[in-house]
């Protein structure tokens, strides 16, 4: 079996006047993430990992932030497009492991819904989708509450390979 591995990382600043979306879930918080799309940092990290596994560039190359088609778009919708691209290359997602890095808000209560959303789009059972959350013990931009980061690692399996 041919297996490819990819890693993704993304960061967005927290600002007032935006809704906070993580893993396709609206999180109640006084600030949201700044970005051209819905700025879902977790989904962006996952997309970069998926694209990287097949050396297909990054999300900026596929969904440029100057293109009005992607203004405010759901990152889950973009993830669906990345899945189609991967399937077109003859691969399927095997599993993902991801982590959200934020001092606040506390996102643990929302992780089950994030996993469900991601599994649905990736066509996986939830046991193949890991979403974790951690803090930086008040260190760095995440610890100061200036932004949220996310990392993801994925493995892709060659279909019929």
Residue 64 is assigned to a ligand binding site:
yes
Residue 38 is assigned to a ligand binding site:
no
Residue 154 is assigned to a ligand binding site:
no
Tokens of 153: 């690692």
Residue 135 is assigned to a ligand binding site:
yes
Phi, psi of 28 (to 5 degrees): -65, 120
Residue 48 is assigned to a ligand binding site:
no
Residue 2 is assigned to a ligand binding site:
no
3-class DSSP assignment, residue 17: coil
Residue 84 is assigned to a ligand binding site:
no
Contacts of 65 (CB under 8 A, 6+ apart): 35, 36, 37
Cα dihedral sign, 136-48-41-114: negative
Residue 15 is assigned to a ligand binding site:
no
Residue 62 is assigned to a ligand binding site:
no
Q: Are 12 and 142 in contact (CB under 8 A)?
A: no
Residue 141 is assigned to a ligand binding site:
yes
Residue 83 is assigned to a ligand binding site:
no
Residue 144 is assigned to a ligand binding site:
yes
Residue 143 is assigned to a ligand binding site:
no
Tokens of 13: 């600043």
Residue 44 is assigned to a ligand binding site:
yes
Residue 74 is assigned to a ligand binding site:
no
Q: Which residues are annotated as a binding site for a divalent metal cation?
A: 10, 12, 44
Give the annotated binding-site residues.
10-12, 36-37, 44, 58-60, 63-67, 134-137, 141, 144
């Amino acid at each position: 079996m041919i297996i490819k591995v990819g890693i993704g990382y993304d960061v967005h600043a927290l600002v007032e006047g935006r809704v906070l979306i993580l893993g396709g879930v609206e999180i109640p918080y006084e600030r949201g993430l700044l970005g051209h799309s819905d700025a879902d940092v977790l989904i962006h990290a996952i997309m970069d990992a998926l694209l990287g596994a097949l050396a297909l560039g990054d999300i900026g190359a596929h969904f440029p932030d100057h293109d009005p088609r992607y203004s405010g778009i759901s990152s889950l919708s973009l993830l669906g497009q990345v899945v189609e691209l991967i399937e077109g290359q003859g691969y399927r997602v095997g599993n993902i492991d991801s982590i959200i890095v934020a001092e606040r808000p506390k996102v643990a209560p929302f992780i089950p819904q994030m996993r469900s959303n991601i599994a649905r789009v990736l066509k996986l059972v939830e046991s193949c989708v890991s979403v974790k959350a951690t803090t930086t013990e008040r260190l760095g931009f995440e610890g100061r509450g200036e932004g949220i980061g996310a990392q993801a690692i994925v493995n892709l399996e060659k279909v019929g390979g």
